[in-house]
């Protein structure tokens, strides 16, 4: 009898495990609503260029991230990420969280694969039952402050597949469950044996 394959599950975060994108929520959590909207006004040329297809998702996101977080000490940013877990809890999709815990109970190795920044995604996800978080990482300068850039590629689209396969390279050795809600998850869902598109 053929030995059954082990199981791996990969969950998107924003819009899949949560109802909304966590980046705007984290900015408002750190800076408050007024500074958030002032920043969007200042960044309107960047946002318009993105909407018109003149600027990539990754570049637009990095510009937004840099505006709000460049220069923050690493330890302070990490602490804000830990505190933000209570805000994430208010925005969770109970059905998808239940699916994550079900996969975990079935013996799956559970990953959350997210374009959001690891520092504010990982604390909640690991506490919720994920084994590992694969996310975009903020670059830290020699002065231990955020440079405003990313130290990894933005974990979006094909990058999600790349990051997962770096951790789980022997694709034929496991059965893959994947959960996503947007075009940023298209490649991850295509890789899965059991893709689940989460309707918004």
Q: By percentage, how much of the chain surpasses pLDDT 90?
A: 94
Position 125 confidence tier, pLDDT thresholds 50, 70, 90:
very high
How far is Cα of residue 150 from the mean position of the Cα atoms in its chain?
13
112-127 average pLDDT score = 97
pLDDT of residue 1: 41
pLDDT digits (tens, 9 = 90+) for 132-180: 999 999 999 999 999 999 999 999 999 999 999 999 999 999 999 999 9
Angle made by CA atoms 118, 122, 126, in degrees to the nearest 5:
160
pLDDT of residue 199: 87
Q: By percentage, how much of the chain surpasses pLDDT 70?
A: 98
CA of 7: how far to CAs of 11, 134, 173, 178, in Å?
13, 17, 9, 11
CA distance linking residue 38 with residue 15, whole number of Å: 25
- Specify the pTM: 0.94
Position 4 confidence tier, pLDDT thresholds 50, 70, 90:
confident
**CA atoms lying within 13 Å on the CB side of residue 129:** 19
């Amino acid at each position: 009898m053929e030995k059954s394959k082990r199981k791996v599950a990969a969950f998107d975060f924003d819009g899949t495990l949560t109802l909304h994108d966590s980046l705007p929520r984290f900015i408002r959590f750190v800076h408050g609503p007024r500074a958030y909207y002032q920043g969007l006004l200042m960044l309107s040329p960047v946002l318009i260029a993105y909407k018109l297809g003149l600027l990539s998702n990754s570049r637009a996101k990095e510009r937004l991230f840099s505006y709000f977080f460049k220069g923050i000490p690493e330890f302070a940013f990490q602490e804000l990420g830990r505190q933000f877990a209570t805000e994430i809890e208010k925005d969770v999709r109970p059905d998808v969280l239940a699916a994550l815990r079900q996969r975990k109970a079935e013996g799956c190795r559970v990953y959350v694969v997210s374009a959001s920044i690891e520092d504010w995604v990982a604390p909640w996800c690991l506490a919720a039952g994920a084994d590992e978080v694969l996310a975009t990482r903020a670059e830290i300068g020699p002065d231990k402050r955020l440079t405003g850039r990313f130290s990894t590629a933005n974990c979006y689209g094909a990058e999600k597949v790349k990051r997962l396969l770096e951790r789980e390279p022997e694709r034929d050795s496991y059965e893959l469950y994947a959960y996503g809600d947007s075009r940023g998850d298209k490649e991850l869902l295509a890789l899965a044996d059991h893709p689940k598109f989460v309707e918004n």
